[in-house]
Amino acid sequence: MKKSIGVDLGGTSVRTAIVDSEGKILKDLKESSYAKEGPSVVLPHIADMIERLGDISDCEGIGIGVPGPVDEERKVMTLSTNLPGFTGYPITRMLEERFRMPVCVGNDANAAGLAEALVGAGKGRKIVYYITQSTGIGGALIINGKVVSGKHGYAGEIGNIVIDRSRPKINGLNAGAAENEASGTAIGRYGREKFGAKNAIEVFGQARKGNADALAILDRMSYDFAQLMSSIAHVVDPDIFVIGGGCSNASDLYFGSVRKYFDELVHPAMRDVEIAKAELAEPGVLGAAFFVE
């Protein structure tokens, strides 16, 4: 059975794992990523972690998922907000020289989406669109088990899609960008404005108790999120949307509304598109391993 090594590199932690072709994690390690120290520290640490996984002689390659867009031909990040020094850095070179095997690198949302498409909620579907809804919003398009990342690696950067241009510009994204209106951060912001909530978790908790302001925030978010999904659907017409990320843990509170609004926004023939919660506990490291072909 084919085996490969997956690396899920984030701004806080990094996980390495030996993964088989069925998505089973055979051995893994999770440690601090030392992201602020730069690639000259981060990458040797990853290499040491890979060596500590044990015998990797039968692995076919290494796949790395990183938090930002990737030029897959040049194997570099084109934007590395959470990984200082990684923009334009040759991420794979040292690992290729040390382990003498192919090394691939891709966006972490693409990795998670690929895992969900191959062995998770989207398994067996031709066109899977994965959305992660957490601190921010990201996405991945997977067709016939292959990620479509685009010319510049920005194909899944859906958080910058405008859902209402009349809303304020909050950061470097467009005014009314989906990430600023339908992410966990946005839910928390509206919660603070309305009733002093600390974060999105508190908004979800208050909604469960019937708090009218919290319920209104989730209803508005559901429409905004459905509008984002309808924009995507009218371009790629997926078989299924798979929703992951921290917000999806409260799916029972808003998926029904998203379904309702989505059906109102798309052509009638598109209303059979499935909307499902992500299934995998660790899609990032699995999908990174699946980058290895």
Task: Work out how many domains the chain is built from and give that number.
Answer: 2
165 CB burial (10 A radius; 0-12, 13-18, 19+) = exposed
Q: Which residues are CB-neighbours of 33 under 8 A, at least 6 positions away? A: 9, 10, 11, 12, 13, 14, 42, 45
90 and 64 inside one domain: yes
28 and 62 inside one domain: yes
56 and 200 inside one domain: no
10-residue mean pLDDT profile of the chain (293 residues): values are 95 96 96 96 98 96 96 92 94 96 96 98 98 95 96 92 95 94 97 97 98 98 98 98 97 98 98 98 96 93
Q: What is the pLDDT of residue 107?
A: 95
Q: And the tokens for 257?
A: 């509304």
6 and 19 Cβ atoms separated by less than 8 Å: yes
Q: What is the pLDDT of residue 1?
A: 79
Q: What is the pLDDT of residue 81?
A: 86
Q: What is the pLDDT of residue 183?
A: 97
pLDDT tens across 29-50, in order? 999 999 999 999 999 999 999 9
257 and 142 inside one domain: yes
For 258, the domain range is 121-277
Instruction: Residue 45: give its domain's CATH number.
Output: 3.30.420.40
Q: What is the pLDDT of residue 72?
A: 87
